[in-house]
Structure 1
Amino acid sequence: MKIIKLNAIDSTNSFLKDLAQNSTLECFTTVVTNNQQKGRGQMNSTWLSEPFKNLTFSTLITNIQINIDKARYINFAASLAIFDVLKSYSIKELSIKWPNDILSENKKICGVLIENTFVGNKIKNSIIGIGLNVNQTNFNELTNVTSIKCETNKEANLNELLDDLLKNLEVKYSAIKNGNFKKLEIEYLNQLYKYNQKTDFTTSTGKTFTGKITGIANNGNLQITLPNNEIKSFGIKEISFAK
C-alpha cells in the first residue's frame, strides 16, 4: 500500500484520478492531505475542512472487475469500513445515511465520494474519497455536523486513524472479491439510518410523503415502501428526508 502525503491540494479525488490516468498505481494507493481546499461531495456539494484537524484522503482500488449493477457493494464496503472504525472510538448512535454519509446522533461526522471507471459493463477501478471530521470542534454556523473530538472530548491521532481506516477498507473490500455480496448488504441495511422506520420524505418537486426505507435497488437507488405496500425507487437527487 502506497501513501502519498501532501500539505495542501484542491481535491484528493481529483489528484488521484489524474495520477491514475497517467501512471500505473498499485491497489490501495492513497492520497492524503492536511489541507483540502476544494473537497467535493455528493451532488457537487463542497466539503470544508479545517487544516491539520481532520482526515481528507482518497484511495484507489484497482482491477475490481464486477458488473456495473453491483456498484452499490463498493458503497456498502466503504461505508461499513468507516462505521466499524468509528464504533471502536465509542461514537454515540452511529448510523449510515444513504448513500454513504456517517452520522452520530443525526449529525454528519463523515462524507464519502466514490468515483468508478468502467470497461464495457465492468467496473475497472474505484476511487473512494473520505472526509472525516476528527479534531475540529468549530463548524461556524453549521449545527448538523460533529467530529470525533466533539463526541469523545478526546483528540485522535490522525496517522493511526488513517491506518485503521485503510486496513478496514481492505477487509471490507475482500468481501466483494470473495463474492460475499449478501453479507455486505445485510450489514449495511442493519446500520442504515431510518431503515424500516416510518419516515417523512420530500421529493425534488416538493411533494412530502410517508414511507419506510426497505432496501437498495440494483442501481443503488433507495427503495421506499409506501403505506399501500407499493415500493418506489429514488435516486440521490430525487428525494431527501423531510425537515
Structure 2
Amino acid sequence: MKIIKLNAIDSTNSFLKEMVIDSVVENFTVVVAESQIKGRGQQDSLWLSEPFKNLTFSVYISFKNFKIKHKKNLLFAISLAVYEAIIKETKLHISIKWPNDILSGNKKICGILVENSIQKDKIRHSVVGIGLNVNQINFSEAINKVSSLKLLTQKNYDLDVLLKTIVSKLKKRINQLENKEFEKLEADYLKVLYKKNTPTMFKDSKGVLFMGFISGISKEGLLQIELEDETIREFGIKEVSFA
C-alpha cells in the first residue's frame, strides 16, 4: 500500500484523479491530507474538517473486469469496509445510511464519495474519497447531526492506525467484489442499513411527507421504500430524505 501524505490540499479526490491522468498509479494508492480545504461530498456538497484531527483521504482502486451494471455492489463493498474498520477500532454501535454515510444513532460520523472512470460497459477504476470525523469535538452550528469518534467514546485515536485498518478492510471487500460475491455483499449491507424495515416518515424532493419503510435496494441501486398501501417507490440520491 502506497501512502502519499500532504499538508494541505483542496481535495484529495481531485489530486488523486490528476495523478491517474499523469502517471501509472499503483492499486490501493492512498492520498491523505492533514488539512483539506475544499473536501467534496455527494452531489458537490462540502465536507468540512478541522486540520490534524480527522481522516480525509482518497484511495485508488483499479478493476480487471468490473461491469457498470454491478455498480451498486461497489458502494456496498466500500461502505461495509469503512463500517467494519470503525467497529474494529471503536466497538461502537453504528449503521450505514443509504447510500454510504456512516451514522452513530442519527449523527453522521463519516462520508464517502466514489468517482468512477468508465469505459464502454466497465468501470476501469474508482477514486474513493473518505472523510471520517475522528478527534474533532467542536463543529459548526451550521452543520446538523454530526459527531466524531472522540465525542462518542471519549478517546483519542491514532489516525495512521485507523487509515491502515480501513484500507485493509477495503482490500478484503473489493476482493469479494472481484470474485462476484454480490449476494453476500448485498446481504451484509442490508443487515446494517439505517432504518431498514422500520416505519419512518420521509420527505420527497417536492417536500411531500409520507410514511413507509426501507425494504431494499433496486438492481439499479435506487432506494426502495414500501408505502402504507404496500406499493414500492424507488428513489435516487437527493430524491428522498428522512423527515
Same fold flag (TM > 0.5): yes
Rounded Cα–Cα distance in structure 1 between residues aligned with 2:89 and 2:71: 29
Secondary structure at 1:166's aligned position in 2?
helix
Cα 1:105–1:203 shift into 2, 3 Å: same
Q: Does the 8 Å CA contact 1:91/1:104 hold for their aligned counterparts?
A: no
Q: Does the 8 Å CA contact 1:53/1:134 hold for their aligned counterparts?
A: yes
Rounded Cα–Cα distance in structure 1 between residues aligned with 2:140 and 2:219: 39
Deviation by residue 1:132-154 (Cα, 9 ceiling, x = unmatched): 00000011314511111111111
Secondary structure at 2:53's aligned position in 1?
coil
Over 4 Å off, 4+ runs: none
Rounded Cα–Cα distance in structure 2 between residues aligned with 1:167 and 1:90: 16
Match of 2:28 in 1: 28
Q: Does the 8 Å CA contact 2:8/2:33 hold for their aligned counterparts?
A: yes
Match of 1:157 in 2: 158
Rounded Cα–Cα distance in structure 1 between residues aligned with 2:64 and 2:39: 25
Match of 1:167 in 2: 168
Alignment of 1:96-135 (within 5 A): 96-135=96-135
Match of 2:48 in 1: 48
- Output the amino acid matched with 2:71: A
- Output the amino acid matched with 1:23: S
Cα 1:25–1:51 shift into 2, 3 Å: same
Rounded Cα–Cα distance in structure 2 between residues aligned with 1:154 and 1:185: 32
- Output the amino acid matched with 2:97: K
Q: Does the 8 Å CA contact 2:86/2:92 hold for their aligned counterparts?
A: no
* Aligned-pair identity (%): 52
Rounded Cα–Cα distance in structure 1 between residues aligned with 2:98 and 2:209: 18
Alignment of 1:60-209 (within 5 A): 60-141=60-141, 142-209=143-210
Q: Does the 8 Å CA contact 2:89/2:162 hold for their aligned counterparts?
A: no
Rounded Cα–Cα distance in structure 1 between residues aligned with 2:14 and 2:52: 20
Rounded Cα–Cα distance in structure 1 between residues aligned with 2:231 and 2:187: 22
Secondary structure at 2:82's aligned position in 1?
helix
- Structure 2 residues not aligned, in runs of 5+: none
Q: Does the 8 Å CA contact 1:27/1:60 hold for their aligned counterparts?
A: yes
Rounded Cα–Cα distance in structure 2 between residues aligned with 1:170 and 1:41: 22
Q: Does the 8 Å CA contact 1:91/1:151 hold for their aligned counterparts?
A: no
Rounded Cα–Cα distance in structure 2 between residues aligned with 1:9 and 1:106: 30
Q: Does the 8 Å CA contact 2:41/2:47 hold for their aligned counterparts?
A: yes
Shift of residue 64 of structure 1?
Answer: 4.5
Shift of residue 91 of structure 1?
Answer: 4.7
Rounded Cα–Cα distance in structure 1 between residues aligned with 2:105 and 2:214: 19
Alignment of 1:202-241 (within 5 A): 202-241=203-242
Rounded Cα–Cα distance in structure 2 between residues aligned with 1:179 and 1:100: 20
- Output the amino acid matched with 1:88: K
Rounded Cα–Cα distance in structure 1 between residues aligned with 2:89 and 2:147: 14
Q: Does the 8 Å CA contact 2:225/2:232 hold for their aligned counterparts?
A: yes
Rounded Cα–Cα distance in structure 1 between residues aligned with 2:25 and 2:131: 22
Deviation by residue 1:92-127 (Cα, 9 ceiling, x = unmatched): 430100110000121100000000111101111011
Shift of residue 87 of structure 1?
Answer: 1.1
Deviation by residue 1:3-51 (Cα, 9 ceiling, x = unmatched): 1110000000011011101111111011001000000001111000000
- Output the amino acid matched with 1:139: F
Cα 1:102–1:2 shift into 2, 3 Å: same
Secondary structure at 1:66's aligned position in 2?
coil
CA root-mean-square deviation:
1.1
Name the TM-score, length of structure 2 as normaliser.
Answer: 0.97
Q: Does the 8 Å CA contact 1:92/1:105 hold for their aligned counterparts?
A: no
